[in-house]
């Protein structure tokens, strides 16, 4: 019996991949619905090894998906819900065209709602899995919480983002889980530790919203991501509040209810309500105590038994324990010009109390005249009325104290002082190719001097000239000493030869000449140092390195190339950062010189 011939592209990469057009035909969905279900289910386009085989011999570059993923989507219940939504949309369009507004109201009332709880549980089976993937969720939810009403973004969605973000910040405050913070041009970076997982997110600055054109940002796709992240963050908040013995949902201010949505038209009013909600404590479950502190680290015997690692873990645990009560018992009063939201969040995370002027913003807990205030945060050069019982510091002191895990000295952060550089705490110490700014080097190594604190160029040039002169003089003295030694040795040889000649008068003239020549050849001469080629060793090292590269196996060669390319990219990035810093320092030095010249000219004019 003759075997049936196998069809081309029925196995291998030709059967593993499917184009987007074929997927739309198989699922019977529009492109908009297909994108929506792919975002919700976490299905993304794939890159094949051989594109021609994956595209079944077709040319060009097409969007490809795994056939297995598309087959899984066939069994998804949301498919039927999307089709039901499509039917209702067609009915609404038909009723609008027929001017039948009664039916339109009925269809809008009975419009089906899509529930994606089962998708969240499917993608994140455990609470730890959800915490590991919380970074993008928080960043996007905090971003959407600042949006006004947009055509592509539902108003209920942005309002829900506002409420969920404030709920999450309350959970971080109660758990005292915040570890790092950094201010950048984009916004405020925070890092918290929840259930042993590190969560990093960014909160944008509250500026006036500028409308974006349709080509720059696709708000519809972003809104679909937020639709999934809202459900996910709701589950996470509920679990966090349950573990902290808090009542969920918490009772926040009136600004986060759907009834008062129309009242908070002004962005400043919304921000004030958000901060007021953050400054109030959340209700606990009746009979429940506060969250228990973690016990001390137990020492277990390990295979390597490295005592240094155990000691580092103990020190880290002690630092974290102190950090949780950094501002405990301290009261802070915030002036109206400082950013209140990040400061209130930081102060409350570490046990402090914060307040502000109740005449300008809602939610104040104590007045400026309170004598128990420890620090007043100001961002202005001077103040007319000051209290002797408190310190007046700039906002950066709070952020730097949190990153340093201790209350820093306030002499560099006083009102009107020039602030030290705000260094980022998000530095990976395990990487070897990392740019370290001069200020960080000065903190790590006390003997290191930053470029701004070094001597001037003229002093360095004078010192280098003196060193060169001293070195030349030293070389001359060494040469003179060597010449004196050689002359002394030759004189001794001549005296010995004369004595030998006198004692051996009976020897033949030929023998005497031979003896004299031998003795002359025995004299010590100055040696000539062997000079190596300056680039010979470098060339030999490169050749040896190339020979070692050839020994890499073929299956590991691509991995080695990618590692090498990554190292080169990091090297280039460090070089660029150093160049930028050097140009910045040179510019600052020139500005200082100009200022000094102006001061000298003014002094001369006043003396005249």
Q: Tens of pLDDT along 401-435?
A: 999 899 999 998 998 888 888 888 888 766 777 77
Q: What is the mean pLDDT of the chain?
A: 81
**Residue among 23, 105, 111 nearest 71 (CA):** 23
Alpha-carbon span 240 to 248, nearest angstrom = 10
Residue 190 DSSP class: E
Which region among 183-192, 249-258, 285-294, 597-606 has the lowest average model confidence (pLDDT)? Answer: 285-294
pLDDT for 462: 44
pLDDT the model gives residue 464: 45
Q: What pLDDT is recorded for position 299?
A: 54
pLDDT-derived band of residue 7, with 50, 70 and 90 as boundaries? confident
- pLDDT over threshold 80, residue 479: no
Question: Residue 75 and residue 73: Cα distance in Å, rounded?
Answer: 5
Query: Tokens representing 429?
Result: 């110490």
How much is the pLDDT for 487?
62
Of 240, 71, 232, 227, the C-alpha closest to 168 is 240
Are the CB atoms for 394 and 419 separated by under 8 Å?
Answer: yes
pLDDT tens-place string over residues 364-401: 888 888 889 999 999 988 888 888 889 999 999 999 99
The DSSP call for residue 243 is H
pLDDT range class, residue 472, cuts 50, 70, 90: very low
- Whether the per-residue pLDDT at 563 is higher than 70: the answer is yes
Average pLDDT score over residue span 455-482: 46
Reported confidence tier of residue 131, pLDDT bands at 50, 70, 90: very high
Does an H or E element contain 355, and which? Answer: strand 353-355
Beta-bridge partner residues of 192: 178, 199
Asked if the model's pLDDT at residue 302 lies above 70, the reply is no
Residue 387: exposure state from Cβ atoms within 10 A (0-12, 13-18, ≥19):
middle
Averaged pLDDT, 61-65: 92
The reported pLDDT for the residue numbered 300 is 53
pLDDT-derived band at 292 (thresholds 50, 70, 90) equals: low
Q: What was the pLDDT predicted at 474?
A: 45
Question: Considering the chain, what percentage of its residues have pLDDT values greater than 90?
Answer: 29
pLDDT higher than 90, residue 23: yes
Q: Identify the pLDDT of residue 257.
A: 53
First to last CA, the chain: 118
Q: What is the pLDDT of residue 397?
A: 93
Reported for 573-579, long-range contacts at CB under 8 A and 24+ positions apart, including other chains, are 573/435, 574/433, 574/434, 574/435, 577/435, 578/435
Between 267 and 312, whose confidence is greater?
312
Task: List the one residue out of 168, 160, 166 whose CA is nearest residue 223.
Answer: 160
3-state secondary structure 403-469: HHCCCCCHHHCECCCCCCCCCCCCCCCCCCCCCCCHHHHHHHCCCCCCHHHCCCHHHHHHHHHHHHH
> Can you tell me whether residue 33 is helix, strand or coil?
helix
Name the region of 101 (left: φ>0; alpha: ψ -120 to 50; beta: rest).
alpha
Question: Would you say residue 126 has pLDDT above 70?
Answer: yes
Predicted model pTM: 0.75
- Banded model confidence at residue 44, pLDDT cuts 50, 70, 90: very high
pLDDT at 347 over 70: yes
Distances from the Cα of 594 to the Cα of 96, 443, 509, 587, angstroms: 72, 30, 86, 11
> In the structure, what pLDDT confidence band is assigned to residue 316 with cuts at 50, 70 and 90?
confident
CA triple 179-182-185, angle to 5 deg: 155
Residue 215 pLDDT: 67
Q: Is the dihedral of CA 370, 375, 377, 382 positive or negative?
A: positive
Query: What residues contact residue 463 under an 8 Å CB cut-off, 6+ apart?
Result: 455
Q: What is the CA radius of gyration of the chain?
A: 38
Determine the number of helices (DSSP H) and then strands (DSSP E) in the chain: 21, 9
* Type and span of the H or E element at 316: helix 307-324
Does the structure show a pLDDT above 60 at 262? Answer: no
**For 331-339, what is the mean pLDDT?**
91
Report the distance separating Cα 65 and Cα 23, nearest Å.
8
pLDDT, greater one: 492 or 242: 242
CA distances from 60 to 57, 64, 65 (A): 10, 12, 16
- 326-426 domain in CATH 3.40.50.10190? yes
Predicted pLDDT of residue 477: 45
Q: What is the pLDDT of residue 248?
A: 86
| pLDDT of 282 higher than 80 | no
Helices (H), ranges, 176-280: 219-243, 267-278
* pLDDT digits 0-9 by tens, 209-222: 666 666 677 888 88
- What are φ and ψ of residue 55, in 5° steps? -90, 15
Residue 471 has pLDDT above 80, yes or no: no
Structure tokens belonging to residue 222: 């972003």
Give the containing element (helix H, strand E) for 589: helix 554-607
Regarding beta strands 197-204 and 64-66, do their DSSP bridges make them parallel or antiparallel, or are they unpaired? unpaired
Residue 293 has pLDDT above 70, yes or no: no
């Amino acid at each position: 019996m003759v075997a049936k011939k196998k069809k081309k592209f029925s196995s291998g990469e030709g059967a593993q991949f499917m184009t987007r057009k074929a997927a739309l035909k198989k699922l019977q969905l529009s492109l908009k619905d297909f994108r929506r279900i792919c975002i919700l289910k976490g299905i993304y386009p794939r890159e094949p090894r051989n594109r021609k085989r994956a595209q079944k011999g077709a040319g060009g570059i097409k969007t490809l998906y795994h056939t297995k993923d598309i087959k899984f989507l066939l069994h998804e219940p949301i498919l039927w819900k999307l089709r039901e939504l499509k039917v209702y949309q067609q009915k609404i369009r038909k009723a609008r065209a027929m001017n039948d507004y009664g039916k339109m109201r009925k269809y809008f009332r009975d419009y089906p709602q899509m529930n994606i709880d089962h998708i969240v549980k499917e993608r994140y089976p455990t609470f730890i899995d959800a915490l590991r993937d919380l970074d993008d969720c928080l960043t996007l939810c905090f971003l959407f919480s600042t949006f006004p009403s947009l055509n592509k973004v539902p108003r209920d969605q942005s309002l829900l983002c506002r409420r969920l973000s404030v709920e999450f910040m309350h959970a971080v405050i109660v758990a005292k889980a915040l570890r790092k913070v950094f201010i950048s041009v984009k916004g405020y970076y925070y890092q918290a530790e929840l259930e042993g997982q590190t969560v990093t997110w960014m909160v944008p600055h509250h500026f006036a919203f500028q409308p974006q054109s349709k080509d720059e940002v696709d708000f519809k796709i972003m809104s679909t991501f937020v639709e999934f992240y809202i459900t996910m963050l709701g589950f996470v908040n509920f679990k966090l509040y349950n573990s902290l013995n808090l009542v969920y949902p918490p009772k926040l201010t009136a600004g986060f209810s759907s009834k008062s949505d129309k009242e908070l038209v002004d962005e400043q009013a919304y921000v004030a309500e958000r901060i007021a909600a953050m400054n109030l404590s959340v209700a606990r479950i009746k009979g429940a105590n506060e969250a228990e502190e973690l016990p001390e680290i137990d020492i277990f015997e390990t295979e390597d038994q490295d005592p240094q690692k155990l000691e580092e873990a103990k020190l880290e645990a002690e630092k974290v324990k102190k950090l949780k009560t950094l501002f405990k018992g301290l009261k802070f009063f915030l002036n109206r010009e400082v950013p209140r939201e990040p400061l209130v969040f930081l102060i409350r995370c570490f046990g402090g109390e914060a307040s502000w002027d109740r005449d300008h913003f809602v939610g104040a807990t104590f007045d400026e005249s309170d004598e128990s205030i420890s620090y007043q945060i100001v961002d202005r050069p001077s103040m007319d009325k000051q209290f002797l019982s408190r310190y007046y510091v700039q906002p950066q002191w709070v952020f730097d104290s949190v990153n340093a895990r201790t209350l820093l000295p306030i002499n560099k952060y006083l009102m009107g002082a020039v602030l030290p550089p705000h260094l980022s705490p998000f530095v990976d110490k395990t990487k070897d190719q990392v740019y370290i700014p001069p200020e960080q080097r000065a903190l790590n190594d006390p003997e290191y001097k930053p470029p701004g604190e070094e001597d001037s160029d003229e002093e360095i040039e004078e010192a280098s000239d003196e060193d060169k002169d001293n070195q030349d003089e030293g070389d001359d003295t060494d040469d003179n000493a060597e010449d004196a030694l050689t002359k002394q040795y030759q004189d001794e040889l001549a005296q010995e030869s004369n004595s030998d000649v006198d004692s051996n008068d009976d020897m033949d003239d030929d023998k005497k000449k031979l003896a004299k020549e031998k003795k002359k050849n025995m004299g010590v001469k100055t040696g000539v140092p062997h000079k190596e080629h300056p680039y010979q060793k470098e060339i030999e090292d490169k050749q040896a390195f190339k020979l070692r590269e050839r020994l890499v196996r073929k299956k590991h060669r691509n991995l080695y190339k990618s590692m090498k390319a990554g190292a080169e990219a990091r090297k280039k990035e460090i070089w660029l950062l150093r160049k930028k810093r050097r140009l910045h320092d040179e510019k600052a030095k020139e500005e200082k010189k100009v200022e000094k010249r102006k001061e000298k000219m003014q002094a001369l004019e006043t003396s005249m």
